Amino acid sequence: MVSKRFNLLAQFSFIALFSLMASALTSASLQAAEQSQAQQQPSQPNQQVSQQPSQQQIATLTVNINQASAEELADVMTGVGLKKAQVIVSYREKLGAFKSVDDLLGVKGIGPATVEKNRHKLEL
């Protein structure tokens, strides 16, 4: 009976010691990885950044529908590609400036859902 208890105690101690060692090794390797990553980052903050806006930046951009090019409209408006943006520009050139965002509903292929998805991005 005593030997079984001693065996269980020894096994428990071994498992606890192993867990502590694994935890220490994991912590040490995480610190080493963080230090390595910090050394790899450029020390000069003025390095060139990509000229292309990220998807998050595009989501917060606004566009003037009376002045924007087809490319600008396509870049900013959700669900509007270059061809549809060209149709918007052609409509504007033919009939004059939009008086409200809802005037986009007169453009073939632009429906209420597209206008609503983009309303917060559009200005006159």
Average pLDDT over residues 1-13: 60
Confidence check: pLDDT of 6 > 80: no
User: How many domains does the chain fold into?
Assistant: 2
pLDDT exceeds 60 at position 43? no
d(CA 99, CA 46): 42
Q: Are residues 60 and 29 in the same domain?
A: no
Q: Which CATH number fits the domain that encloses residue 119?
A: 1.10.150.320
What percent of the chain is predicted at pLDDT more than 90? 51
pLDDT digits (tens, 9 = 90+) for 46-93: 555 556 666 665 556 899 999 999 999 999 999 999 999 999 999 999
CA 68 to CA 61: how far, in whole Å? Answer: 12
User: Residue 27's domain spans which residues?
Assistant: 1-36
* 42: in domain: no
What was the pLDDT predicted at 71? 97
59 & 114 share domain: yes
**In sequence order, which ranges of the chain are alpha helices (DSSP H)?**
2-40, 55-60, 70-76, 82-95, 112-118
